[in-house]
């Protein structure tokens, strides 16, 4: 079939197998070079202290996939990924994470590394049991658990109740500039505040409860190595996006996730860390209102200063500077690892704000790098590569 880009409400409905393969191969190639110290600004990978058996929850796309690639292709780690992805059919493409996981596993196998994926709901107790069985059968234990899930809903494993997360402000309506990523036109976006139930449900989905359940289950299942640690990903961002992000429903969930790090450490005895990552285009972030305009301006400002990083560069820096030692060395006052350090530099934020204030509703975005935003979004789904022939008939099941 002809596999072409189809986007509805900022969500891509298709994925190209060859393009997804290309995306993963590029990230792997970059990682291999970085690990040898060949990329300026990135330290060689410390193999001696690198995690050897890594479980990535949400390891099929975005930050989770990049974490898995660094663990395996910089550190030779055995990896297990748990993620929800749609399989391909004769006339329907898979989701990009399905192709990406496949390609990752083919490449890992070529290098003699153990790599498996469980494509199932990470929030369920059954998936936790399956994962524990897989670890016991092949790895005995893991020494690092990455928690990188981004989901719009969660079924409570005890009660079966389905909770939905919303991206809304709290307390008062919020209106801000946004960009239509299709037309590039600036618009005004307004949001009604969330009610108490929506706040609670968002915390249920994106807060720390499931992270805690995972670490508890792995510990009770005897699957954690004596020096095992766990890391979950969070975001703070600038004042510009506070009402819809950090001070909104998702921010409340992230605060809960961050508090859960000390609950895990204190009650289960497993060192647990938060890594606050940079804003980047992923399947999850592209649907957050206001964020695409912020990201496209941020990209341009950071690119001009030679500070821009993508998922793989962020995760390489996280692993090579903070996860290949007994404990992370660069924690902020709240005990969090700050991979958003370059994004949050005062000079970067001042410039982003100045460019933000130049935008005019109804006009094309000024100064922002929407092309890179759209290119990155396309590439996550395997589109936009010059050397792939998108007019060629291919099978969505072949990878």
Which residue ranges make up the site for ligand NAI (CB under 6 A)?
58-64, 82-85, 97, 121-123, 148-151, 233-235, 277, 279-280, 282-285
Q: How far is the CB of 71 from ligand NAI (least distance, A)?
A: 15
Nearer to ligand NAI by Cβ, of 42 and 123: the residue is 123
**126 with 213: CB under 8 angstroms?**
no
Q: Rounded CA gap, 284 and 286, in Å?
A: 6
**328 with 322: CB under 8 angstroms?**
yes
Known catalytic residues are 245
Q: How far is the CB of 362 from ligand NAI (least distance, A)?
A: 27
Strand partners, 164: 153
Nearer to ligand NAI by Cβ, of 151 and 397: the residue is 151
Q: Rounded CA gap, 133 and 138, in Å?
A: 9
Q: Rounded CA gap, 79 and 76, in Å?
A: 9
End-to-end CA distance of the chain: 14
DSSP 87-145: PPBTTBPPPHHHHHHHHHHHHHHHTT--EEEE-S-TTSHHHHHHHHHHHHHHTS-EEEE
Strand partners, 144: 54, 229
DSSP-derived pairing of the beta strands 11-12 and 7-8:
antiparallel
Q: How far is the CB of 143 from ligand NAI (least distance, A)?
A: 21
Q: How far is the CB of 240 from ligand NAI (least distance, A)?
A: 14
Q: Where are the alpha helices (DSSP H) in 242-306?
A: 249-263, 291-304
Residue facing ligand NAI at closest CB distance:
62
Using only C-alpha atoms, the chain has a radius of gyration, in whole angstroms, of 20
Q: Rounded CA gap, 304 and 342, in Å?
A: 13
Nearer to ligand NAI by Cβ, of 1 and 244: the residue is 244
Q: How far is the CB of 150 from ligand NAI (least distance, A)?
A: 4
Residues 6+ apart with CB under 8 A from 369: 296, 297, 299, 300, 303
Q: How far is the CB of 391 from ligand NAI (least distance, A)?
A: 28
């Amino acid at each position: 079939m002809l596999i072409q880009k189809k986007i509805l409400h900022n969500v891509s409905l298709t994925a190209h197998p060859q393009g997804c393969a290309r995306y993963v191969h590029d990230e792997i190639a970059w990682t291999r070079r970085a690990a040898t110290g060949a990329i300026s600004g990135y330290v060689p990978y410390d193999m001696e202290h690198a995690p050897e058996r890594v479980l990535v929850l949400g390891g099929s796309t975005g930050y989770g996939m990049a974490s898995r690639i660094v663990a395996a292709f910089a550190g030779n780690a055995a990896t297990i990924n748990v993620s929800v992805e749609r399989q391909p059919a004769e006339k329907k493409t898979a989701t990009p994470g399905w192709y990406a996981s496949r390609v990752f596993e083919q490449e890992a196998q070529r290098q003699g590394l153990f790599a498996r994926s469980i494509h199932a709901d990470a929030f369920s107790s059954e998936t936790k049991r399956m994962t524990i069985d897989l670890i016991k059968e092949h790895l005995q234990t893991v020494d690092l658990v990455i928690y990188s899930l981004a989901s719009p809903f969660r079924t409570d494993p005890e009660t079966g109740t389905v909770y939905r997360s919303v991206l809304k402000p709290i307390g008062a309506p919020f209106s801000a500039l946004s960009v239509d990523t299709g037309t590039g036109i600036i618009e005004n976006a307004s949001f009604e505040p969330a009610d108490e139930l929506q706040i609670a449900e968002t915390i249920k989905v994106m807060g720390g409860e499931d992270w805690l359940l995972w670490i508890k289950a792995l510990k009770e299942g005897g699957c954690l190595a004596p020096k095992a640690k766990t890391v979950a990903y969070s975001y703070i961002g600038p004042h510009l996006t506070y009402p819809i992000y950090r001070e909104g429903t998702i921010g409340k969930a992230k605060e809960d996730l961050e508090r859960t790090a000390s609950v895990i450490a204190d009650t289960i005895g497993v060192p647990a860390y938060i890594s606050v990552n940079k804003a980047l285009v992923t399947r999850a972030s592209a649907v957050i209102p206001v964020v695409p305009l912020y990201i496209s301006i941020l990209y341009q400002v950071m690119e001009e200063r030679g500070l821009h990083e993508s998922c793989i560069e962020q995760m390489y820096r996280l692993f090579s500077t903070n996860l290949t030692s007994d404990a992370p060395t660069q924690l902020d006052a709240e005990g969090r690892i700050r991979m958003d350090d370059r994004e949050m530099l005062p000079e970067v934020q001042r410039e982003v704000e100045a460019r933000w204030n130049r935008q005019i509703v109804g006009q094309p975005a000024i100064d922002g790098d929407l092309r890179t935003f759209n290119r990155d979004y396309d590439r996550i789904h395997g589109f936009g590569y010059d050397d792939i022939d998108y007019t060629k008939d291919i099978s969505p099941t072949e990878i």
